[in-house]
Amino acid sequence: MQITQLDTLTYVGPQIFAANMDDLKRLGIGTIIVARPEGETDDQPSISDIRKAANEFGIAVHQIPALPSNITDGDVRAYCAITSGTDHPVFTYCRSGMRATSLWALCAAQHGADPDEILRTAKDANFDLTTLASRFAKDAA
């Protein structure tokens, strides 16, 4: 399982499976956000399978069915609402980790994070978010 830490409470990665819950719990993950629509690919476990496995470890699961090329303002609002005020680590995943990282970045911009720092953090995690840079100023307003 590939997992990348973006900040103190934020981890992102590609698709996970029920067998990964023990690893997530060891990291202190208390919330999982699935940033994929149900059935996006044939090899994707259902949200109910992920939720059932996570519940056994006391991990909450939320779904934001963001589309790869169209992360909406509503998707970002949902992500911010889920992560706002959490005192435990959150793991967000999608097919590759790009949507997960994008949701984090757009939410961080809304909360006043420096756009250059957001881009640097994403780049260090091997995600190029330069196409979102124009949204950072808009989201920060």
99, two tokens: 């949507």
- The CATH class for the domain spanning 4-140 reads alpha beta
- Percent share of the chain, pLDDT over 90: 88
10, two tokens: 């934020």
Domain residue ranges in the chain: 4-140
Task: Quick: pLDDT tens for 74-90.
Answer: 999 999 999 998 999 99
Task: Tell me the mean pLDDT in the region 54-83.
Answer: 95
